[in-house]
Amino acid sequence: MKPTSSQQKSQELLEKIIHKAWSDDAFKAALIANPLDAIEKATGERVQLPEGKTLIVRDQTSQEKIYVNIPAEPNMEDMELSEEQLEVVAGGGIIWPAYVMLPILPTPTNPSKDGRIS
């Protein structure tokens, strides 16, 4: 399935934030302490979370540890299927919830002179 433009924009923003955190320890500390403010300061964009949601950033850069994030259990009652997914289910297939997995990202580039990431 092709990501929506909103999903693509979110993925690109996430990659930029990760690159900046890799190259800027002060930004990484600010991102962990207050993610929404750090993202807005670095990008000039205010992140709007869904009502009742909180953004938590954890430093998982240790090479000596393996991190596992346990996602919320999907609510199948509220899940809407696309036409493509309906065809799979109608044919006897199973649709598993999709979880975003980031590939290994390239070495980060330097942020601009004003400290913003682009």
| Cα–Cα dist 17/24, whole Å | 10
Instruction: Give me 100's structure tokens.
Output: 């975003």
pLDDT digits (tens, 9 = 90+) for 40-49: 999 998 888 9
Rg value, the chain, Cα: 18
CA torsion sign, 74 to 50 to 84 to 79?
positive
The pLDDT, as a whole number, for residue 22 is 96
pLDDT digits (tens, 9 = 90+) for 59-86: 999 999 999 989 888 777 777 777 777 7
pTM over 0.85: no
pLDDT digits (tens, 9 = 90+) for 16-53: 999 999 999 999 999 999 999 999 999 998 888 999 99
| Cα–Cα dist 15/18, whole Å | 5
